[in-house]
Amino acid sequence: MAPSIRLSPAARSLFDEPLAIAVQGLGPRQRVTLRTSLRDETGELFQASAHYQAGDDGELDLARCPALPGGSFSGLEPMGLLWALQPQKPFWRLIKRDVQSPFLLQLEVLEGHGERPGRLLAQVQHERAFLRDGVRRVPVREGRIRATLFLPPGEDTFPGIIDINGYGGGLFEPRASLLANHGFATLALAYYQFEDLPQEPKELHLEYFEEAVNYMLQHPQVKGPGVGLLGFSKGGEVSLAMAAFLNNIKAVASLNAPVVATCIPFYYKDKIIPTVTSYEHKAKATNSKFLDYSDVIDDPFQAPGNQSLIPLEKAEAQFLFIVGQDDHVVKSEYYATEVCKLLQAQGKENFKILSYPGTGHCIDPPFFPLYCIGSHPVFHKRAVLGGELTAYSKAQVHAWSQIQAFFKKYL
């Protein structure tokens, strides 16, 4: 019997779903290398490989067989071949622009464990999709709002979430599309560098974001009376400001976000939150010659009455702070801890912190590759973003399930 690869689901799975991988038809105790490859939409290649030994029966099931040392990872890691994917072009990030098409994953079984891959024994292709069958993608151009709404299958009403990405601008849809597969009506909201929105905004007016909240609450398939916000980095900061000033926000999940206004001030009616001072010269060069920007922002908690601090004590929402202990862009764990102390001092208990060791600034949905050194979102220089492969892969899976549980509970 010739070797063959068995996948479950067989032909297509969702990007954030586990994929069961097994090989049959090998020789007893045969040593093989398994390799995965994926090309992004620009054609850049991501690869991972691992060394394995089949059982006495010639079977190899990644759920039961540990990877041997020498590949991208070792140990019992059934999804290692997906989370360990790394770009062949240094410092490149895997981004999905068009969520309506899947990524194509190539799996190969190669003979032996040598430096150079041995003979190809088996191969298979698999689609990693972003939209479950029946999920609708609806472009939104209502008033000033520039967004995409993802609706789960069916005619029911669903809990509503607005997903806001960090610096970088544009319209970012992967997280929102994946959430819709789990039963949430999710609006991916652009707020600059997209269509007719400002290219380089000098201020952010919360009225724009309020329009998005009202759009969601008026939608016949969004279950009121309030919405949830999911924000990453600057988007998390925007979400916290929205919770402090706007009505109808029930739950905010913030991923590695500052709790102060950074770079762009917030305006709402007659109120202004000015930006905290940052000092680019305080960036430190690491021994790998990349810059560490974790200390460039003034500490808002050391200056009593700091006007840049977002007044979260005014918010009615529930907060879930998700922080990477190895975040080198934002002191996210410190910020979350200090702001929760302030809330506690006000007699509030509307917060929870999930803190992940070995996890850097970028916390994506499960199985996105680690992006630990890349372009700094503000200073646009090569910077340490933080994170360590295995710890980060575990954090992704845990945080993603916690985000869903949090929104199910409060929406």
Mind listing the pLDDT tens digit for each residue in 32-75?
999 999 999 999 999 999 999 999 999 999 999 999 999 999 99
Name the more confident of 38 and 114. Answer: 38
Q: Which residues contact 212 (CB under 8 A, 6 or more apart)?
A: 145, 147, 162, 187, 189
Tens of pLDDT, residue by residue over 235-263, are 999 999 999 999 999 999 999 999 999 99
Average pLDDT, the chain: 95
Task: Tell me the percentage of the chain whose pLDDT exceeds 90.
Answer: 89
Is it the case that residue 309 has pLDDT exceeding 90?
yes
State residue 286's pLDDT score: 77
Q: What single string gives the DSSP state of each residue in 167-225?
A: TT-S---HHHHHHHTTT-EEEEE--SSSTTS-SS-S-EEHHHHHHHHHHHHHSTTEEEE
In the chain, where does the domain assigned CATH 2.60.40.2240 lie? 4-129
Which pairs count as long-range contacts for 368-375, CB under 8 Å and 24+ apart, including other chains? 368/15, 368/94, 368/396, 369/46, 369/83, 369/84, 369/85, 369/86, 369/87, 369/93, 369/94, 370/83, 370/86, 371/93, 371/94, 373/91, 373/288, 373/290, 374/91, 374/93, 375/91
Distance CA 150, CA 177 (A): 6
State residue 379's pLDDT score: 81
Other Cβ atoms less than 10 A from the Cβ of 16: the count is: 22
**What are residue 123's DSSP bridge partners?**
108
Tens of pLDDT, residue by residue over 73-87, are 999 999 999 999 999
Tens of pLDDT, residue by residue over 326-376, are 999 999 999 999 999 999 999 999 999 999 999 999 999 999 999 999 888
Is it the case that residue 226 has pLDDT exceeding 90?
yes
Task: Please state the CATH superfamily assignment of the domain spanning residues 4-129 in this structure.
Answer: Acyl-CoA thioester hydrolase/BAAT N-terminal domain (2.60.40.2240)
State residue 303's pLDDT score: 77
Query: Is residue 186 a contact partner of residue 163, using CB atoms and an 8 Å limit?
Result: yes
Q: Are strands 318-324 and 291-292 parallel, antiparallel or unpaired?
A: unpaired
**Which CATH class for the 136-410 domain?**
alpha beta
Please give the average per-residue pLDDT across 387-400, as a whole number: 97
The upper half-sphere exposure of residue 249, i.e. CA atoms within 13 Å in the direction of its Cβ, equals 29
In the chain, where does the domain assigned CATH 3.40.50.1820 lie? 136-410
Is it the case that residue 208 has pLDDT exceeding 90?
yes
Distance CA 300, CA 233 (A): 17
State residue 298's pLDDT score: 86
The distance in angstroms from the start CA to the end CA of the chain is 53
Q: Which residues contact 129 (CB under 8 A, 6 or more apart)?
A: 12, 13, 14, 15, 102
Best CA proximity match to 235, nearest among 296, 305, 176: 176
State residue 235's pLDDT score: 97
Res. 284 pLDDT band, cuts 50 70 90 = confident
Burial class (CB in 10 A: 0-12, 13-18, 19+), 59: middle
State residue 283's pLDDT score: 84
Tens of pLDDT, residue by residue over 95-104, are 999 999 999 9
State residue 382's pLDDT score: 86
State residue 376's pLDDT score: 80
State residue 289's pLDDT score: 79
Other Cβ atoms less than 10 A from the Cβ of 194: the count is: 16
State residue 277's pLDDT score: 85
Please tell me which residue in 37, 49, 233, 393 is annotated as part of the active site.
233
State residue 96's pLDDT score: 97
Res. 290 pLDDT band, cuts 50 70 90 = confident
State residue 394's pLDDT score: 97
Tens of pLDDT, residue by residue over 138-182, are 999 999 999 999 999 999 999 999 999 999 899 999 999 999 999
Please tell me which residue in 219, 327, 332, 364 is annotated as part of the active site.
327
* Active site (annotated) includes residue 16: no
Please tell me which residue in 332, 361, 364, 393 is annotated as part of the active site.
361
Name the more confident of 112 and 379. Answer: 112
Distance CA 133, CA 77 (A): 29
* Active site (annotated) includes residue 219: no
Please give the average per-residue pLDDT across 196-222, as a whole number: 97
Rounded to whole angstroms, what are the CA distances from 90 to 86, 87, 375?
9, 6, 12
Amino acid identity, position 188: A
* Active site (annotated) includes residue 182: no
Burial class (CB in 10 A: 0-12, 13-18, 19+), 58: middle
Please give the average per-residue pLDDT across 281-291, as a whole number: 81
The b/e string for 325-362 (b: 16+ C-beta within 10 A; e otherwise) is: bbbbbbbbbebbebbbeebeeeeeebbeebebebbbbb
